Amino acid sequence: MEIEKDERKRRTIWRKYLRIIAEEGFIPDTRFAGVFCIREVSGYAVWYSRYLKEDTSGNVPDGDYLLRFFRPESKHLAIEFAVLAAKPALSSDDAIAALDAELENSIVLEAATEIKPHFEQIR
């Protein structure tokens, strides 16, 4: 079940795009990597979304990765974790490489079938 764009925006409380590549043409293509802190039904989730199909460094497939989940009363901790995960002191390439390195042995929650950010509610 895909959540509508407005609902997804409403539930996102913090985001940082590490890289955005927008190509115009007959079929527009947007590739990106970013860290998102999203209010879910039972708390706050910090997601790493990676959709850089040309970049296959580190053998991390494109997809949405749950970095950590926080209780409802831990909103500020969730935002702080998301900010630190995005590593704003590093260049965007270094931040993507660091997140990819952490995920090499992780399980992808959703395979990349479309190049756009989408999140499902955790029930």
Task: Please state the domain extents for the chain.
Answer: 5-107
Q: Are 33 and 52 in contact (CB under 8 A)?
A: yes
In angstroms, the Cα distances linking 49 to 26, 60, 113 are: 25, 11, 13
Task: State pLDDT tens for residues 68-108.
Answer: 999 999 999 999 999 988 876 667 778 788 888 777 655 55
Could you tell me the pTM of the whole model?
0.68
CA distance 78 to 82: 6
- 119 pLDDT exceeds 80? no
In angstroms, the Cα distances linking 21 to 13, 15, 83 are: 23, 17, 21
